[in-house]
Amino acid sequence: MRTPAGVECPYFYGNYFRGRSEEECRLIGPKAPPGNWTPNLCKNCPVPAIARANACENMVLTAQVRSNLFGLIRRVDVQAYCTLSKTDVKEPQIGCGQCHPLPDEFTLKDQP
């Protein structure tokens, strides 16, 4: 569904049926006010870019809202975990490197 920032996100949900205005991030979920989700977080959220770059079904994303010392700047911090290789993914846009190996056409072979 399209977020308030105008990009597609698989975790954003908006219910606008018959005048309703319910919006939520199903990745962050309902949390207490320092870590709660607000629509303005979608503007700088890395999750839509990760979903566009990597569609691996084995990668599980977790997110939480982080803020600076005074709580003025809030951002979404995303961690990724691969259930197939059972490791943390350092670059979620790229993946773990074990789930989807490159085909033989793209690998270098020794010349005889």
Torsion of CA 88, 92, 98, 104, to 10 degrees: -170
pLDDT tens-digit series, residues 3-53: 988 999 999 999 989 988 899 999 999 988 888 999 999 999 999 999 999
Identify the pLDDT of residue 34: 82
CA gap 61, 72 in Å, rounded: 25
Query: Would you place residue 112 in the very low, low, confident or very high pLDDT band (cuts 50, 70, 90)?
Result: low
pLDDT tens-digit series, residues 39-89: 999 999 999 999 999 989 999 999 999 998 787 899 999 999 999 999 999
Angle at the Cα of 46 from the Cα atoms of 44 and 52, rounded to 5 degrees: 125
Q: Where do the structural domains in the chain lie, given as residue ranges?
A: 12-97
Identify the pLDDT of residue 1: 86
Identify the pLDDT of residue 71: 76
Torsion of CA 52, 54, 55, 60, to 10 degrees: -110
Nearest CA among 104, 107, 77 for reference residue 92: 77
